[in-house]
Amino acid sequence: MAQVYPYVVEFNDYYNTNFDLISAISFDGDFDEVDTGELLDQVYTERPNGTRIVYGAKYNDVLELTITLIKANYEYFTKDEIRTVLRWLGGIKKPSWLKLYDDEYEEIAEYYGTFTQIQQETADSKTIGFVATFTSAYPHGFSPLRHVEQIYTGQEVIVLEQDGDETEEYVRPYIVITPENEDIAEMTITNQDTEDVIKIKNIKKGEVLTIDCENKIVYSNDEYRVIGSDFYGVINGQATEYPVWLQLAPGNNRLKLNPGSDTCKVKYVFKYRYPLKVGGTY
């Protein structure tokens, strides 16, 4: 590990500072070379003459971060403190968000995955620190969660920014729709920049309808509601009777929200993250 950069780490609802720990993120490489996580292979077929037909490139591995933790007062860890750290990092096995902040607690990036190795560093048979490896499910990080929540009456156009570093990759948001004063016969959400349209019929006053575009799930807080053919739309300019999952293209996305009535008051929630690459330095 040639270079080490200090960060504040949040994981499993705790910061390293909650335990009076100093943290650092290490990246492999020499002083003039730092791993950015950009490990790519060409996708190609070979011609008989040895040249290639290149179709593009793909990541050949996911991203790993190595986190070093020591006590702020540089003292040894007690048995109870060792248990606390291992419980914090290793007590949860399902994938979770690891969040990195600078020393002023401004969030830099988030990574989704699990800790796959936690090692104790010792001196004189006593623990002086930990070196933990976090393995992401992705070859890159993500932006801090973008959370847009507004109440509008009638038709409205809003702008959602997608400033991702994967310029060919679209982002699928998490959407919550709640009519507050009247039923909706048909709700449409149109991305005016991609021309894709979500259409949802028969949303009742007070119903909370959730559209998870990333995981392609739509559900209601009404346990007896069967959505089925009430969810459809337009994709690539073609009408379809099947579900359409909203996508945010790189750049600004103008969304036209139309509840079908000038008097209908609706609460909208949009949540999303976009791919973010901070490399080995920040």
Q: What is the pLDDT of residues 108-118, one digit of tens each?
A: 899 999 999 99
Whole-number pLDDT of residue 7? 78
265 exposure class (CB count in 10 Å sphere: 0-12, 13-18, 19+): middle
pTM of this structure = 0.84
Overall average pLDDT of the 22-31 stretch: 61
* 8 A C-beta contact, residue 9 and residue 107: no
Q: Is 123 helix (H, G, I), strand (E, B) or coil?
A: strand
Query: Does the pLDDT value for residue 72 go beyond 70?
Result: yes
Gap between the Cα atoms of 84 and 71, Å rounded: 13
Task: From 229, 223, 231, select the one nearest 198 (Cα to Cα).
Answer: 231
Residue 32 banded pLDDT, cuts 50, 70, 90: very low
Task: From 150, 158, 148, 147, select the one nearest 255 (Cα to Cα).
Answer: 158
Q: What percent of the chain has pLDDT over 90?
A: 70
Contacts 24+ apart (CB under 8 A), 84-89: 84/19, 85/19, 85/21, 85/130, 86/118, 88/11, 88/12, 88/14, 88/19, 89/11, 89/12, 89/115, 89/118, 89/130, 89/132
Whole-number pLDDT of residue 36? 55
Q: Measuring CA to CA, how many Å separate 39 from each of 15, 26, 61, 91? A: 30, 17, 7, 30
* Lookup: tokens for 131: 């070196």
Q: What is the pLDDT of residues 222-261, one digit of tens each?
A: 999 989 999 999 988 889 999 999 999 999 999 999 999 9
Q: What is the pLDDT of residues 265-275, one digit of tens each?
A: 999 999 999 99
Whole-number pLDDT of residue 46? 85
* Lookup: tokens for 232: 């459809």
DSSP label of 83: H
Distance of CA 83 to the CA centre of its chain: 29
